[in-house]
């Protein structure tokens, strides 16, 4: 197992060709897919032939960036994944994303993993700006962005050929600049208590 990062409760590792079933299960829950496809599952052959190969190819293209399988340390269970990779070009700017099994929601895992990735990005990987986007109505995802220290950069309205429910409210883009993160870290060291996840003060 190629471990990329450990947090207090999570282990983020590289995906392998053996992760088809876990990804298929994850994408088979309509609640997980609600703000992504309107609840439609991802077919197994799409995972096997398109999604997983794409995940694996990122490790070759960008050292230190990509999609990471999230494993619960205490149980060894696959919880879902985190995305932390440049959308285009070099690693100056990185996109943050996450998708977790419903049974793992509400425990602070998405926030814990995001904060750890952001810290690694800013301190070790040369990242200058972290961005994340979601539907306006995806409150849980927006809350994770805020707790990880990102702030709202813009709201946009795009027209989709086959819009899912809630798309009419638009999408939001959040961002966090390294300088702002550093400033908050310094303020945290001067007296604010650390977060329970031990990953800095965050938002």
Ligand X SMILES: CC(C)(COP(=O)(O)OP(=O)(O)OC[C@H]1O[C@@H](n2cnc3c(N)ncnc32)[C@H](O)[C@@H]1OP(=O)(O)O)[C@@H](O)C(=O)NCCC(=O)NCCS
Q: End-to-end distance of the chain based on CA atoms, in angstroms?
A: 32
Nearer Cβ to ligand X (126/198): 198
Instruction: Select from 85, 99, 115, 119 the one that contacts ligand X (CB under 6 A).
Output: 99
Q: What does the block give as tokens for 121?
A: 């990005």
Q: Are 21 and 120 spatial neighbours (Cβ–Cβ below 8 Å)?
A: no
Instruction: Select from 134, 149, 167, 202 the one that contacts ligand X (CB under 6 A).
Output: 134
Nearer Cβ to ligand X (107/179): 107
Q: How many residues bind ligand X (CB under 6 A)?
A: 21
Instruction: Select from 35, 55, 65, 81 the one that contacts ligand X (CB under 6 A).
Output: 35
State the Cα–Cα distance between residues 127 and 139, nearest whole angstrom: 26
Give least dist CB 26 to ligand X, A. Answer: 9
Sign for the CA dihedral angle at 64, 70, 74, 75 comes to negative
State the Cα–Cα distance between residues 144 and 97, nearest whole angstrom: 10
The answer to the question of residue 106 lying near ligand X (CB under 6 A) is yes
Stretch that binds ligand X, among 91-99, 119-127, 150-158, 165-173 (CB under 6 A): 91-99
Give least dist CB 100 to ligand X, A. Answer: 4
The answer to the question of residue 166 lying near ligand X (CB under 6 A) is no
State the Cα–Cα distance between residues 30 and 38, nearest whole angstrom: 8
The answer to the question of residue 144 lying near ligand X (CB under 6 A) is yes
What are the C-alpha distances in Å from 53 to residues 17, 30, 61?
8, 23, 12
Stretch that binds ligand X, among 5-13, 44-52, 84-92, 95-103 (CB under 6 A): 95-103
Q: Are 177 and 185 spatial neighbours (Cβ–Cβ below 8 Å)?
A: no
Give least dist CB 107 to ligand X, A. Answer: 6
């Amino acid at each position: 197992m190629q471990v990329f990062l450990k947090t207090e409760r999570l282990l983020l590792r590289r995906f392998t060709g053996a992760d088809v079933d876990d990804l298929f299960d994850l994408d088979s829950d309509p609640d997980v897919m609600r703000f992504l496809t309107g609840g439609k599952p991802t077919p197994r052959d799409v995972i096997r032939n398109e999604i997983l190969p794409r995940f694996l190819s990122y490790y070759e293209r960008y050292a230190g960036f990509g999609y990471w399988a999230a494993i619960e340390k205490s149980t060894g269970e696959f919880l879902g994944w985190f995305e932390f990779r440049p959308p285009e070009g070099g690693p100056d700017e990185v996109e943050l994303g996450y998708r977790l099994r419903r049974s793992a929601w509400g425990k602070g895992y998405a926030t814990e993993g995001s904060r750890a990735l952001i810290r690694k990005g800013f301190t070790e990987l040369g990242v200058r700006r972290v961005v994340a986007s979601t539907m306006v109505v995806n409150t849980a995802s927006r809350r994770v962005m805020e707790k990880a220290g990102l702030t709202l950069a813009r709201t946009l309205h795009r027209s989709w050929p086959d819009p899912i429910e809630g798309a009419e409210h638009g999408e939001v883009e959040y961002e966090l600049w390294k300088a702002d993160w550093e400033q908050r870290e310094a303020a945290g060291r001067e007296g604010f208590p650390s977060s329970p996840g031990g990953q800095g003060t965050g938002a």
